Structure 1
């Protein structure tokens, strides 16, 4: 029992590092980057709030678990700009190795279960994963739409890139949400918060 608890405690303490992994977005109204732990909590809350809007049947408990584990490998791999395809591709092997290492800290049964959730999210193979991945794309869009396009402007992102990266993930799962976000993109372009 003590050995099992020590392993779980070691995992929990390893997660402290996720608070130091900085993302590209700034929390609205703050002059600092959000960290990945904040992002994971916020998208879990967003998923819980949007579950009834899903066009797909989803097991919200499983979705929440996926969202809580999906970025844990960033402890080793760091955060990658979603619009940088070369960097994203290079990070895949680092994320897999990070997932194996970090979930490997846990007792075997628990570690394998969390790794499986991470794997399913990463590959988007079922409704739960597709919904979770859609939510993971919605929140950064909401932040940019309500933060004068902060990370879009800083990285020279164009509206066509935002649509290409997000529409296929969000629209089939959350069509009403996508329609609202799509209208927001047009407004962001009109305001100069997003390049045409």
Structure 2
């Protein structure tokens, strides 16, 4: 009975992810996406794109990683990816995730903690693919949203290409080729400078 209480408490706590505003606006909308919407979008994207991973992946593990990878934002908030890859920010996220996972039964706590770390480290085919997928929606939001977040945060095309090419191509070369093509079109149109 105690285990189910902890799981229900966890379910209540993760509702807070819906209040975390991200840095990009969904395509066609004039509001910022929340982190829970992002989690749904990347899971659906991974499911649709699984056959394009560089290596064979266990899509269930990929989706688990994508569902939990941003839970640390409940504590840390969302920051612009191009400046948030700091040790300090990652420690705040790690601490927040560990605190949340304490609500779960030990077996689940261990599984999800390990998956979260695996994602962060990009240490498996599933983690590399999940990290690739995680980058695509924000790029699409900007490509099809007049570069709103790039302009707001003064993100250069050099930074966008350098940061995303490695992360996406490590998980899916063919996905990077398609995204790169769309980024080049955004440059030609003046959306990305």
TM (norm. structure 1) is 0.94
- Structure 1 residues without counterparts, runs of 5 or longer: none
Residues 1:181 and 2:179 are matched in the alignment? yes
Asked if 2 retains the 8 angstrom alpha-carbon contact of 1:81 and 1:88, the reply is no
Unmatched runs of 5 consecutive residues or more in structure 2: none
Please list the CA deviations of residues 105-137 of structure 1 after superposition, one character each: whole Å capped at 9, or x if unmatched: 111111111111111101111111000000011
In the aligned structure 2, how far is the partner of 1:149 from the partner of 1:90? 28
Supply the distance in 2 between the matched residues of 1:41 and 1:147 (Cα, whole angstroms): 20
Asked if structure 1 preserves the Cα contact closer than 8 Å seen for 2:131 and 2:171, the reply is no
* 2:62 paired residue number: 63
Contact 2:128 2:170 in 1 (8 A): no
Give me the whole-angstrom Cα distance separating, in 2, the residues matched to 1:110 and 1:180: 37
The alpha carbon displacement at 1:90 in A equals: 2.3
Residue of structure 2 equivalent to 1:168: 166
* Alpha-carbon shift at residue 81 of structure 1 (Å): 0.9
Runs ≥4 residues deviating over 3 A: none
> Matched residue of 1:193: which SS?
coil
- The CA deviation at 1:172 is 3.4
For the residue of structure 1 that corresponds to 2:49, the secondary structure is: helix
Q: Where in structure 2 are the equivalents of 1:92-171 lying within 5 Å?
A: 92-171=90-169
Q: Is the 8 A contact 1:46 1:135 kept in 2?
A: yes
Which residue in the other structure is 1:6 paired with? Answer: 5
Q: Distance in 2 between matches of 1:148 and 1:89?
A: 31
- Within 2, Cα distance between the matches of 1:91 and 1:171? 25
Superposed displacement of residue 62, structure 1: 0.5
Structure 1 distance, partners of 2:178, 2:115, is 29
Report the TM-score when normalising by structure 2.
0.96
The number of aligned residues is: 193
- Partner residue, 2:188: 190
